[in-house]
Amino acid sequence: MNLDFTILDSEAAPEAEGDEKGEAKGRQPMDVLLVAAKRDVIDEYMELIRAADLNPGVLDADIFALQNAAEISLPNPEECYAIINLGAAGLEINVVSGGISTFSRDSSYGGAHVTEAIRSEFKVDLQEAEQMKLGGMEVDNRKEEGLAKVFTREVSLWVKEIKRALDFVSGTRAGDPIKKIIVSGGSCRIPGLQKYLEMEAGIPVEPLNPFRNLVVDYKRFDADYLDDMALQAGVAVGLSLRSIDDK
């Protein structure tokens, strides 16, 4: 494992005086963010980047990259909010308050499970199942009913897990309620997911648009394309905001 950390509240840990045996006393507790990543996963990324003749400068976790992207796009990034990232391979939850991550959780259950459920239900290949999932192809009434059942079944599992995590946070931080849920990731495009999450959690839900406050040269980038890709670009934009030795 590779480990890294940063002290979230350095003022909470003043210099401790030592006694005659050299042991520190009177030290105050501090909040520390500890991040661990599997070394073989990091090595795979490093090999891929170097194979593309690029020099890797910063590695970051998805949830913290998304937090950086959210901070430049939200009108009030200091309030308490939750970032929910629903990708193909996993579900990530990060609760942020005052610009500091206070809770995070991830699960291996992602959009690929929904695609596989559709493939199994309708006996189609993965490409066609993906198109059906994202509404990229027309289906008849029978398939539409079956698709709705798959969505309801699979999405309810996501929402239950998210709500469980947010209820836990609310129970431990009663004085600092979550004001907003920000969703990101391609799987957030599944029809009805955002409305269902908002209804079950009782918290306003909105999609993350990391391009919202960026200055864009529209001679080089198509505005409609950026809007279409916004949900999937949060991690990339968040990583681009990092600099060497910046935490």
Q: Are 63 and 101 in contact (CB under 8 A)?
A: yes
The pLDDT tens digits for 135-181 are 666 667 777 777 888 888 888 888 998 999 999 998 888 788 999 99
Identity (one letter) of the amino acid at 192? G
> Taking the domains of the chain in order of start, what are their residue ranges?
1-56, 65-240
Asked whether 76 and 95 are in contact (CB, 8 A), the reply is no
Taking residues 195-203, what's their average pLDDT? 92
* Top-tier CATH class for 65-240: alpha beta
Q: From the CB of residue 74, how many other CB atoms can be counted at a distance below 10 Å?
A: 19
For residue 31, give the amino acid letter. Answer: D
pTM of the model: 0.81
Give per-residue pLDDT as tens, 67-98: 999 999 998 888 999 999 998 888 999 999 98
Q: What is the pLDDT of residue 22?
A: 52
